[in-house]
Structure 1
Amino acid sequence: MGRRAARETAMKLLYQLEIQRDDREQQVQYVLEEEKLTENDTVYVNEVINGVYSKIEEIDALIEKHAKGWKINRISKVDLSILRLSIYEVCFREDIPFNVSINEAVELAKKYSTEDAGSFVNGILGKVSKIFPVHVDGSNE
Structure 2
Amino acid sequence: MTRKKVREHLFKLLFLLDFYPKTELDDQVSTYLSDIGNDADAAEESQERLEKVREELKQKFYAVAEHLEEIDRKIEEKSNGWSLKRLAKADITALRLAIYEIQYDEDVPAGVAVNEAVELAKLYGTDKSPAFVNGVLGSVVRDGAEE
SS in 1 for 2:74: helix
- Residue 19 of structure 2 is aligned to residue 19 of structure 1: yes
- Residue 34 of structure 2 is aligned to residue 33 of structure 1: yes
- Residue 8 of structure 2 is aligned to residue 2 of structure 1: no
Gaps of 5+ in 2: 38-48
More helix by share: 2
Between Structure 1 and Structure 2, how many residues are aligned?
135
- In 2, distance between residues paired with 1:40 and 1:121? 29
CA offsets 1:84-105 (integer angstroms, 9 cap, x no match): 0110011000011111111000
TM-score by length of 1: 0.88
Gaps of 5+ in 1: 135-140
Two-structure CA RMSD over aligned residues (Å): 1.8
The sequence identity of aligned pairs, in percent, is 39
In the alignment, what sits opposite 1:137?
none
One-letter amino acid matched to 1:44? E
- In 1, distance between residues paired with 2:108 and 2:96? 15
**How do residues 101-116 of structure 1 correspond to structure 2 at under 5 angstroms?**
101-116=113-128
Q: 1:64 touches 1:71 (CA, 8 Å); kept in 2? A: yes
Which residue, 52, 69, 74 being the options, matches 1:62? Answer: 74
In the alignment, what sits opposite 1:47?
59
- In 2, distance between residues paired with 1:34 and 1:106? 26
